[in-house]
Structure 1
Amino acid sequence: MAKEEYAIGLDLGGTKILAGLVDRTGRLIARKQLPTYAEEGEKAVIERVLSATHDVLSASGIHSEEVRGVGIASAGVINSDSGEVIFASNLGWRNVPIGTLIEQRFGLPVRLFNDANAAAIAEWLWGAGAGTQNMIYVTVSTGVGAGVISDGRLISGRDGSAGEFGHISIDWNGPPCGCGNRGCLENYASGTAIENAARHKLATTNEPVTAKAISEAALAGDPFSKRLIKQAGFYLGVGAANLIYLFNPEVIVFGGGVMNASTILMPEIEKSMRERCIPGLAQEVRVILSQIGVEAGVMGAAGGVFALDQPGEKASNF
């Protein structure tokens, strides 16, 4: 393949760093995963990011001069123009120029994406939203986020941080959120929210409670766990109705770890969403599950790189 047919995607998370070499068709040629160990500090994490990038190139047999560029998917507040992570609580980072550091090491252009936006790109190019022009990807994990494709363009906002869906307030008298707002959606519908609700109800237990364990119990038929998951689905549907009013999508794709309980969540999301929407707007919207899965960040970050200097192509709209 020619140089522009390859890109590297990096998914920079609080627990793991995932790197992948991807071709223009969406084929993941090589991958490398390392633990983040954010507690070891910024320099140590950056070295692991650089190491993962080097290792994925070595494993693929592709030289850096054959690669179009590097895309990075990161949580937190970013500046996509400067390639800087302004603030990422999961990493303990403030004002880290990760894009510049990778560019200096490998001599490749770098693009930085909000992690939900990167996943949206992956689902739009190669996954559940392929063939649409108006798609929203919602990630439900530790927090809640969204990436919006409108008229074939990623809505990234002023500096690449658009899509903070989890911080839409659905109850102005609700509990305070870490962002400074009150009653944010992710206080009710995220993995963290599910865990907190369980701990509140099970205040007398000393056993650890995780969203994964609650989801597994719900799928096994535990009534208490099912109620918690259904409650999260209800609130996600409330939020999805707001997205429909704002963006008039063809499809809303749900992904993230909490969606492992999709057989319980999806019916609740659809029911709540359609109850709160004007029928003419909601009836044509398809609500479906992510197809890319855990590698959506890597795939989408790489997919966004193919936009560089390629006027007239689908990806150039990023």
Structure 2
Amino acid sequence: MNTIGVDVGGTSVRAGVVDSHGTVVDTARAPTPPEEAALEDAITSVVCQLARRHTVAAVGLAVAGFVTRDRASVMFAPHLPWRGVAVADRIAGRVKLPVVLEHDANAATLAEYRYGAARGSRVAVLVAIGTGIGGGLLLDGKPFRGAHGVAPEFGHLCVVPGGRPCPCGKRGCWERYCSGTALASTAVDLMARHPGMSTVLAREAGVDSRAITGRKVAGAARDGDPLAQRAMAELARWLGDGLTLIADLYDPEIVVIAGGVSESAPLFLDAAREHYAKRITGAGYRPLARIRTAQLGDDAGIVGAAALAAEIV
């Protein structure tokens, strides 16, 4: 039985037809619009494209936001326009298929548990690093959603009181220092403090600092740009610090690093592991979580959402 999984992120809406073995057999994609109606149009468009090409039974939406426990409504999404919206019913009415919602990181964690890096792990955490940070926690193979459906929200743990402003309304959230967006912000900050340190990124910033993206910083770091490499080192340090908080809370067997930024893991993950191992409470006297990149890559949210969709038909 094929189902459709849709990863509704802050940058793009990515959909895939997924078979019963967790294999993505076809995909469609659209940019994420900032307006509510346009976003729902985009989701409907990618789902209908795929439904015209394949027989599908249901749709799962992996959403970067707080989802109600019945997985029907979005309460709040820092990077999306929905606020208290019955998204499942709205989309179901338009695509004429059953629809279920899930927090995007929960969906990705479930996919990695069933088909990828977290298979067999009793306590598994996923940290999805992209536009922001999403977090997922599985206990004995089941997503932990908290009392009201909003847990865990790792990205909005405050790591710098009074620090960088966050779209969630707070300041100093972890994702403002450890995400693709944060990587760009760190590079711009470093350029202001160290003019001339990077010719590659300086040319981009000279036209418009908004042209600096996390992807461009990662590319410059691969090419040996010293400022970009320093920005990657900062991201590694913040990732290690955040993982120590997660380890102290949940003591996981495995932490899976997912999301778009994980594609650049060779630039930062070893340094993050070392920092985590040194900073964790009881360092040297307790087992450490294995820290691995997602085996399903950027498709984890799609696969997990499709797996959940298969459970409602």
Q: Same fold (TM over 0.5)?
A: yes
CA change 1:176–1:52 in 2 (3 A) is closer
Q: Does residue 124 of structure 1 match 2:141? A: no
TM-score, scaled relative to structure 1: 0.85
Measure the CA separation in 1 of the matches of 2:306 and 2:270: 32
Measure the CA separation in 2 of the matches of 1:285 and 1:119: 19
Specify the SS of the correspondent of 1:206: helix
1:135/1:149 contact within 8 Å kept: yes
1:248/1:281 contact within 8 Å kept: no
Q: CA deviation at 1:161?
A: 2.1
Measure the CA separation in 2 of the matches of 1:212 and 1:48: 24
Q: Which runs of 5+ in 1 are unaligned?
A: 310-318
CA change 1:173–1:54 in 2 (3 A) is closer
1:145/1:165 contact within 8 Å kept: yes
Measure the CA separation in 1 of the matches of 2:167 and 2:49: 36
Q: Does residue 29 of structure 1 match 2:30? A: no
Measure the CA separation in 2 of the matches of 1:261 and 1:32: 24
Give per-residue Cα distances to partners, 1:5-64, cap 9 Å, x unaligned.
33221112333222222122102232222333x14x32233233223222212212x1x5
CA change 1:282–1:143 in 2 (3 A) is farther
Q: CA deviation at 1:298?
A: 1.0
Q: Which runs of 5+ in 2 are unaligned?
A: 196-204
CA change 1:160–1:110 in 2 (3 A) is farther
Measure the CA separation in 1 of the matches of 2:285 and 2:247: 7
CA change 1:180–1:35 in 2 (3 A) is closer
Higher mean C-alpha deviation, range 230-239 or range 46-55: 46-55
Q: Does residue 221 of structure 1 match 2:203? A: no
Partner of 1:144: 133
Residue 136 of structure 1 aligns with an amino acid whose one-letter code is V
Partner of 2:198: none
Higher mean C-alpha deviation, range 19-28 or range 88-97: 88-97
Q: Does residue 267 of structure 1 match 2:265? A: no
Partner of 2:53: 59
Count of aligned pairs between the two proteins: 298
1:135/1:252 contact within 8 Å kept: yes
Q: CA deviation at 1:93?
A: 2.7
Measure the CA separation in 2 of the matches of 1:223 and 1:282: 35
Partner of 2:289: 285
Partner of 2:12: 16
Measure the CA separation in 1 of the matches of 2:121 and 2:29: 31
Partner of 1:91: 80
Superposed CA RMSD in Å reads 2.2
In percent, how many aligned pairs have the same letter?
34
Residue 169 of structure 1 aligns with an amino acid whose one-letter code is C
2:191/2:227 contact within 8 Å kept: no
